[in-house]
Structure 1
Amino acid sequence: MIEVTGPLGERYEEVLSAEALDFLAELHRTFEPRRRELLALRAEREAALAAGGTLGFLPETAEIRADPSWRVAEPAPGLVDRRVEITGPTDAKMTINALNSGAKVWLADLEDANTPLWSNVVEGQLNLRDAIAGYLQYISPDGRRYRPRPDGELATIVVRPRGWHLTEKHILVDGERLAGALVDFGLYFFHCARAQLASGSGPYFYLPKLEGHLEARLWNDVFVLAQERLGIPRGTVRATVLIETFPAAFEMEEILYELREHSAGLNAGRWDYMFSVIKKFRTRGAEFLLPDRAAVTMTAPFLRAYTELLVRTCHRRGAHAIGGMAAFIPSRRDPAVNETAFAKVREDKTREANDGFDGSWVAHPDLVPLCREVFDAVLGDRPHQLDRSRDEVRVDAAALLDVAATPGQITEAGLRNNVSVGIQYLASWLRGSGAVAIFNLMEDAATAEISRSQVWQWLHHHVTLDTGVPVTRELVERIADEEIGRLGTDPAGYAEARALFMEVAVADEFVDFLTLPAYERMP
Structure 2
Amino acid sequence: MSQTTTAQGVQVLGGAVERGDEILTPEALDFVATLHRAFGARRDELLERRKQRREEAARTGKLDFLPETREIRESDWQVAEAPPALRDRRVEITGPTDRKMSVNALNSGAKAWLADLEDANTPHWSNVVSGQVNLYDVIRKQVELSTPEGKQYKLRDDVEHAVPLVRPRGWHFDEKHILVDGEPVVGALVDFGLYFFHNAREALRRGTGPYFYLPKMESHLEARLWNDVFTRAQQELGVPHGSVRATVLIETIPAAFEMEEILYELRDHSAGLNAGRWDYLFSVIKTFRSAGSEFILPDRNSVGMTVPFMRAYTELLVRTCHKRGAFAIGGMAAFIPNRRDPEITEQAMAKIHEDKRREAEDGFDGSWVAHPDTVEPCKEEFSKVLGDKPNQLDRKREDVSVAADDLVDVASTPGDKTIDGLRAAVDVGVRYLTSWLGGNGAAGIHNLMEDAATAEISRSQIWQWLHNDVVLADGRRVTKELVREVLGETEQQLRAEKGFPVENLDRAIELFEQVAVADEFVDFLTLPAYEQLD
**TM-score past 0.5 threshold:** yes
Higher mean alpha-carbon deviation, 184-193 vs 481-490, is at: 481-490
Q: Which residue of 1 aligns with 2:410?
A: 403
CA distance in structure 1 between the partners assigned to 2:207 and 2:473 by the alignment: 56
Residue 157 of structure 1: SS of its match in structure 2?
A: strand
CA distance in structure 1 between the partners assigned to 2:203 and 2:154 by the alignment: 18
Describe how 1:104-119 pairs up with structure 2 within 5 A: 104-119=111-126
Q: Which residue of 2 aligns with 1:255?
A: 262
Q: Does the 8 Å CA contact 1:111/1:160 hold for their aligned counterparts?
A: yes
Residue number among 145, 163, 166 corresponding to 2:170 in the alignment: 163
Residue type of the alignment partner of 1:501:
F
Q: Does the 8 Å CA contact 2:144/2:152 hold for their aligned counterparts?
A: yes
Q: Does the 8 Å CA contact 1:323/1:361 hold for their aligned counterparts?
A: yes
**1:443 shift after superposition:** 1.0
Q: Which residue of 1 aligns with 2:312?
A: 305
Is 1:390–2:401 an aligned residue pair?
no
**1:463 shift after superposition:** 1.3
Residue 240 of structure 1: SS of its match in structure 2?
A: strand
Residue number among 94, 102, 125 corresponding to 1:95 in the alignment: 102
Q: Which residue of 2 aligns with 1:25?
A: 33
Higher mean alpha-carbon deviation, 153-162 vs 7-16, is at: 7-16
Q: Which residue of 1 aligns with 2:322?
A: 315
Residue number among 89, 94, 105 corresponding to 1:82 in the alignment: 89
Aligned residues: 522
Higher mean alpha-carbon deviation, 197-206 vs 283-292, is at: 283-292
Residue number among 51, 66, 73 corresponding to 2:74 in the alignment: 66
**1:90 shift after superposition:** 0.1
Q: Which residue of 1 aligns with 2:5?
A: none
CA distance in structure 2 between the partners assigned to 1:178 and 1:217 by the alignment: 20
Q: Does the 8 Å CA contact 1:73/1:260 hold for their aligned counterparts?
A: yes
**1:10 shift after superposition:** 2.3
Describe how 1:103-502 pairs up with structure 2 within 5 A: 103-487=110-494, 488=496, 493-502=504-513
Q: Does the 8 Å CA contact 1:485/1:491 hold for their aligned counterparts?
A: no
Residue type of the alignment partner of 1:339:
E
Residue 71 of structure 1: SS of its match in structure 2?
A: coil
**1:53 shift after superposition:** 5.1
CA distance in structure 2 between the partners assigned to 1:519 and 1:451 by the alignment: 18
CA distance in structure 2 between the partners assigned to 1:504 and 1:277 by the alignment: 17
Q: Does the 8 Å CA contact 1:80/1:383 hold for their aligned counterparts?
A: yes
**1:491 shift after superposition:** 6.0
CA distance in structure 1 between the partners assigned to 2:489 and 2:115 by the alignment: 36
Cα RMSD over matched residues? 1.1
Residue 455 of structure 2: SS of its match in structure 1?
A: helix
CA distance in structure 1 between the partners assigned to 2:272 and 2:124 by the alignment: 30
Residue 171 of structure 1: SS of its match in structure 2?
A: strand
**1:134 shift after superposition:** 2.0
Residue 386 of structure 1: SS of its match in structure 2?
A: coil
Structure 1: unaligned runs, 5 residues or longer: none
CA distance in structure 2 between the partners assigned to 1:465 and 1:138 by the alignment: 50
Paired-residue identity, % = 66
Write out the 4+ residue segments of structure 1 that deviate beyond 4 Å after TM superposition: 489-493
CA distance in structure 1 between the partners assigned to 2:381 and 2:393 by the alignment: 17
Distance 1:121 1:493, change over 3 A: closer
Is 1:8–2:16 an aligned residue pair?
yes
CA distance in structure 1 between the partners assigned to 2:333 and 2:231 by the alignment: 34
Residue deviations 1:365-406, cap 9 Å, x none?
A: 111000000001000010000000001110010111101111
CA distance in structure 1 between the partners assigned to 2:284 and 2:492 by the alignment: 32
**1:493 shift after superposition:** 4.4
Q: Does the 8 Å CA contact 2:438/2:504 hold for their aligned counterparts?
A: no
Q: Which residue of 1 aligns with 2:517?
A: 506
**1:93 shift after superposition:** 0.2
CA distance in structure 1 between the partners assigned to 2:503 and 2:462 by the alignment: 23
Residue type of the alignment partner of 2:382:
F
CA distance in structure 2 between the partners assigned to 1:286 and 1:344 by the alignment: 31
Residue deviations 1:267-304, cap 9 Å, x none?
A: 00000000000000101221111111111000010000
Residue deviations 1:79-128, cap 9 Å, x none?
A: 10000000000000001110100000000000000011000000000001
**1:492 shift after superposition:** 6.7
Q: Does the 8 Å CA contact 2:59/2:291 hold for their aligned counterparts?
A: no
**1:151 shift after superposition:** 4.2
CA distance in structure 1 between the partners assigned to 2:234 and 2:503 by the alignment: 50
Residue 99 of structure 1: SS of its match in structure 2?
A: helix
Residue 395 of structure 1: SS of its match in structure 2?
A: coil
**1:467 shift after superposition:** 2.0
CA distance in structure 2 between the partners assigned to 1:347 and 1:118 by the alignment: 39
Distance 1:476 1:491, change over 3 A: farther
Residue deviations 1:298-328, cap 9 Å, x none?
A: 0010000000100000000000000000001
Describe how 1:27-66 pairs up with structure 2 within 5 A: 27-52=35-60, 54-66=62-74
Residue 336 of structure 2: SS of its match in structure 1?
A: coil
Distance 1:47 1:238, change over 3 A: same
Residue deviations 1:328-351, cap 9 Å, x none?
A: 111122222222222222111111
Residue type of the alignment partner of 1:193:
A
CA distance in structure 2 between the partners assigned to 1:338 and 1:154 by the alignment: 25
TM-score under structure 1 length normalisation: 0.98
Residue type of the alignment partner of 1:392:
D
CA distance in structure 2 between the partners assigned to 1:111 and 1:372 by the alignment: 25
Residue 85 of structure 2: SS of its match in structure 1?
A: coil
Distance 1:141 1:211, change over 3 A: same
Residue 366 of structure 1: SS of its match in structure 2?
A: helix
Q: Does the 8 Å CA contact 1:484/1:491 hold for their aligned counterparts?
A: no
TM-score under structure 2 length normalisation: 0.96
Is 1:518–2:529 an aligned residue pair?
yes
Q: Does the 8 Å CA contact 1:131/1:148 hold for their aligned counterparts?
A: no
Higher mean alpha-carbon deviation, 217-226 vs 480-489, is at: 480-489
